[in-house]
Amino acid sequence: MRSSHEAAIPDIAGLPRIGGMATIPGRLETFRQARDAILPQVDRLFIFFDKLETVPTDLVSHPKIVPLLPSTHGDLGGRGKFLGLEIHAGPCLYFSLDDDILYPATYVESLVRALRRHRLQAIVGYQASWFRPPHCSYLKDRTYLPFYGLSKFDCHVDELGTGTMAFYSGSFRFDPRRWRYSNMEDLNIAIEALKHGVPRIAIRRPIGFVKALAERQDDSIFARLFQDDSRETALMREALAAYPESWQLWEDI
């Protein structure tokens, strides 16, 4: 007999699969490849075109695509990839995506299986980090699992990368416009998950299942972190202090 909690879990097969992506003008070549790879796998794809006033028709001609612009929704930067969570009516499986990743044909299905394994009560994804003492640098004081790396098991992590992440909106909702900073989505999502008591799970996969179309571009968040990660470090330390027992701290792994 099922428990009442189990009975409350919806039929995952009947939930819409909604994608959210943000892109910028300098990424149009990789954006097209990422878009074309993910479109067959979702029911709708919301795309936030950061730093654009209008969108070329060829970028949004597919009927599944919903274009979003800063002139309507504000200067959100990478946070714009989560606007579809508010615009889409009703519960869904939400897949946050990047414009420089090549998603394999079974990508969405692999995340759906992971959500099912964790009974829709966790955020699941591929790229992950564990923060480690002395927590003096967000970039340097962590152990990092890239999205294309091997993992034989599902495991709890501190932070998931929002370019390869999924969750059930009935278990996890938030308003990215309330975040203090743009282009810190991975850390902001980790903090939102802490507030809601939602686990962050890096899922099992073979090496190279997900591939990069480009890495460490001059306009990337990762490149900026190498120059200055003080803002991210301050927010990480603030969150560590606010939720001291809710992180997968390095000593405990």
What is residue 244's predicted lDDT score, i.e. its pLDDT?
A: 83
Asked whether residue 79 is domain-assigned, the answer is yes
Question: Counting Cβ atoms within 10 Å, is residue 92 exposed (0-12), middle (13-18) or buried (19+)?
Answer: buried
Q: Which of 122-131, 182-191, 220-229 has the lowest mean pLDDT?
A: 220-229
Asked whether residue 78 is domain-assigned, the answer is yes
Q: Please, which pLDDT band fits residue 6 given cuts at 50, 70 and 90?
A: very low
Asked whether residue 250 is domain-assigned, the answer is no
Residue-wise pLDDT for 35-72, tens only, equals 999 999 999 999 999 999 998 888 999 999 999 999 99
For 17, the domain range is: 4-244
- By residue count, the chain amounts to 253
Asked whether residue 208 is domain-assigned, the answer is yes
pLDDT at 109 over 60: yes
- Kindly list the strands in the beta sheet with 200-202, ordered across the sheet, starting from the edge strand earlier in the chain: 65-68, 44-49, 17-23, 93-97, 164-168, 123-125, 200-202, 155-156
Counting runs of H as helices and runs of E as strands, what totals does the chain give?
A: 8, 13
Residue 154 is given by DSSP the state -
What is residue 5's predicted lDDT score, i.e. its pLDDT?
A: 44
Reply yes or no: is the peptide bond before residue 104 cis, omega within 30 of 0.
no
Q: Please state, for a pLDDT cut of 90, what percent of the chain lies above it.
A: 78
pLDDT at 236 over 90: yes
What is residue 217's predicted lDDT score, i.e. its pLDDT?
A: 63
The whole-number average pLDDT for the span 189-208 is 96
* Mean confidence (pLDDT) of the chain: 90
Between these two residues, 214 and 207, which has the higher pLDDT value? 207
The whole-number average pLDDT for the span 207-211 is 97
CB 111 within 8 A of CB 217: no
Q: Please, which pLDDT band fits residue 253 given cuts at 50, 70 and 90?
A: very low
Asked whether residue 252 is domain-assigned, the answer is no
What is residue 7's predicted lDDT score, i.e. its pLDDT?
A: 46
What is residue 221's predicted lDDT score, i.e. its pLDDT?
A: 65
Domain CATH for 42: 3.90.550.10
Asked whether residue 224 is domain-assigned, the answer is yes
Cα separation, 132 vs 152, in Å, equals 22
pLDDT at 250 over 90: no
Q: How does DSSP assign 4-58, residue by residue? A: HHHHTS--GGGS-EEEEEEE-GGGHHHHHHHHHHHGGG-SEEEEEETT-SS--GG
Q: How many domains does the chain have?
A: 1
Q: Please, which pLDDT band fits residue 243 given cuts at 50, 70 and 90?
A: confident
Name, in order, each residue with C-beta under 8 angstroms of 206's C-beta and a sequence gap of 6 or more: 150
pLDDT at 220 over 70: no
Asked whether residue 96 is domain-assigned, the answer is yes
pLDDT at 251 over 60: no
Tokens 């968040």 label which residue?
221
Asked whether residue 103 is domain-assigned, the answer is yes
Where are the extended beta strands (E) located within 85-217? Answer: 93-97, 101-102, 123-125, 128-131, 142-145, 155-156, 159-160, 164-168, 200-202, 211-212
